[in-house]
Amino acid sequence: MDKIPILRMGNFLLVTIQVDLYDRLALNLEADLVQMVSKTNARGVLIDISAVSIVDSFMGRIIGNIASMSKIMDAETVVVGMQPAVAITLIELGLPLKGVHTALNVERGMDLLKSMIGSTEEESEEEEEDDDSVAE
Amino acid sequence: MILSLSKDNIQVVREQDVVLLRNRVKEVAVKIKMGLVNQTKLITAASELLRNMLRYANGGSCLIEVVSKGRENGVRLTFTDKGPGIADLALAMKDGYSTGRSLGLGLPGAKRLVNEFDLKSKVGEGTTVMILKWANG
Amino acid sequence: MKNQLADEGLREDLISNEDLRGQSEELISSLVNNLTSNDMEDLDGENWNPVIEILGGIAITRARQGFSPRETGRFVFSLKDALLAILQKEIADSKTLFEESTKISRVMDNLSIITFETFIKGREEVILRQTDEIAEISTPVIRVWDGILALPIIGTLDSSRTQIVMENLLQEIVETGSSIAILDISGVPAVDSLVAQHLIKTVSATRLMGAECIISGIRPEIAQTVVHLGIDLSNIITKASLATALAYAFKVLRLEVKRTTISKN
């Protein structure tokens, strides 16, 4: 049985999707991820889809689920590395991807997570920054 | 007049067949020099319809054709299943409507991604969906 | 007949170029080797194919090199002249001379038509290539700053051009790792509903990828059209000019532009 590896990077978890997700694999991923978030007290989840060339509504639902589950466990989710063709197709498809933040790559994604988590944990005097956007 | 230049029929029974079919469609699209964005739209639309077929009808078949109209080449996919059929077509084509747990974007979404879309369904007999995408979109 | 044609290769060259000689010889030998006096008339026949191929090749090269149609045509006509001259020399009887001349004339005329048709096809290829190049040049993507891209669009935006712009923009964002793209449309006279939808989709797709897209330089007429068409731009960041858009981008990236003080010492 295939499993998608989940890497730990400090406070965050990194999932790199490189194969076509099918039902069993996707459900396993959701379950494994939630378990790991709980076990490691992770505050953020990065989903790297730079190797994914097709995102259909099924995949979109999985990503949305992961974001919702993580949020319940007090972790934010950032999707990174979306290919241009995928972005264009998703807009046309009308996929909402609610509650999912996005960033260009893992590095930016980590910066985004840090800024999001930083403003909830610490009472910082800094102005709120809106560099990277929330996908609606 | 749309001419069919090549035909390839694939049975889709299990989820793994989805991957097979996606690859086949990609091969054909690349052969007629379809750009990457259009390829992505076509394969994503096919993926939506395939999942519908597997989820609601336990599978079916997909006919992959290379077609041409004048100087333009395109890919036509015809999905046929012997499933329960769709009772209310208008409702099925509305964004957000779903009889399953999905996002309800399969049919109307797929339609937006392609140039031509045709759906015929009879309750108790089955459904046939045809989509066509020209190489130049 | 055949012998006469064989003689031809040497005489034909009214032009002194090495290449030209080579081309002519190739054509002539192809003619000689492939024909008998029987299928002379039937240009659709298989035996003509090698000749037509060579002729086609010559015509296309001429077209690409920029020869005028007249000059390329002259190549074939010179062969015709030479052949007719030979016929005149070799055939005494005027009736036969006339018959043979007419046959040769007809054949050569057909060949020259083929030459022109191929020539035109060659030119069309040049035009198509240039059209593609223009399309590429007219939507440049400029890295104005580390992480900021600017796309000044000039000329009318139609649906297909907007799609090309969108694809280029997204590709550049990925390749340069830029987080902000400024689409400046001050050079665009008018925008219709379809183009506006594409622009909105471009902004959405950019956001989906994790970057931001600002539209600047919207002309007053376009602002009017947009509102009259009922298009909702409230989710899109719009700035009056490329300059203000750039200032906004700097602010977002927390960059500051300061005037330096020149020390008097």
Q: What domains sit in chain C, N to C, each tagged with a CATH number?
A: 2-136 (1.10.490.130), 142-252 (3.30.750.24)
Asked if the Cβ–Cβ distance from A86 to B36 is below 8 Å, we say: no
Q: List, in order, residues 6 or more apart from C262 with CB less than 8 Å away.
A: none
Query: What domains are defined for chain A?
Result: 6-121 (3.30.750.24)
Q: To which H or E segment does residue C18 belong?
A: helix C18-34
Interface test with A, best of B105, B107, B117, B133 (most A CBs within 10 A): B105
Of A39-43, C67-71, C89-93, C111-115, the poorest mean pLDDT is in: C67-71
Listed ranges A116-125, B97-106, C202-211; the one with the highest mean pLDDT: C202-211
Distance between CA atoms of residues C186 and C130, nearest Å: 25
Distance from CA of B19 to the nearest CA of A (A): 7
| pLDDT at A8 > cutoff 50 | yes
Asked if the Cβ–Cβ distance from A131 to C253 is below 8 Å, we say: yes
C163 contacts in chain B (CB < 8 Å): 37, 137
* Chains with at least 3 CB pairs less than 8 angstroms from chain B: A, C
- What's the domain count of chain B? 1
Residue C124 pLDDT grade (very low, low, confident, very high; cuts 50, 70, 90): confident
Asked if the Cβ–Cβ distance from C201 to A132 is below 8 Å, we say: no
Nearest to C141 by CA among C153, C132, C131, C129: C153
Q: What is the pLDDT of residues C192-220, one digit of tens each?
A: 888 888 899 999 999 999 999 999 999 89
Whether residue B125 contacts residue B95, with contact meaning beta carbons closer than 8 Å, is answered with no
| pLDDT at C112 > cutoff 50 | yes
Which structural domain range is residue B10 located in?
3-134
Query: Which alpha helices (DSSP H) does chain A contain, by range?
Result: 23-40, 57-72, 84-93, 106-121
Distance between CA atoms of residues C116 and C221, nearest Å: 48
Residue in this structure with the two tokens 């086949």, named with its chain if needed:
B24
ipTM of predicted complex:
0.86
Beta-sheet pairing, C148-154 with B72-81? unpaired
Residue with the bigger pLDDT between B109 and A23: it is B109
Q: What is the pLDDT of residues B7-40, one digit of tens each?
A: 888 888 888 888 899 999 999 999 999 999 999 9
Residue C235 DSSP SS3: coil
Distance between CA atoms of residues C107 and C110, nearest Å: 5
Beta-sheet pairing, A101-103 with B3-12? unpaired
Nearest to A79 by CA among A54, A53, A109: A109
Structure tokens at A41: 């007290």
- Give pLDDT, residue C83: 76
Distance from CA of B56 to the nearest CA of A (A): 14
- CB of C197 less than 8 A from some CB of B: no
Provide the CATH number for the domain around residue B80. Answer: 3.30.565.10
- CB of C159 less than 8 A from some CB of A: no
- Give pLDDT, residue C3: 44
- Give pLDDT, residue C1: 43
Residue with the bigger pLDDT between B2 and A106: it is A106
Query: Which alpha helices (DSSP H) does C91-158 contain, by range?
Result: 94-137
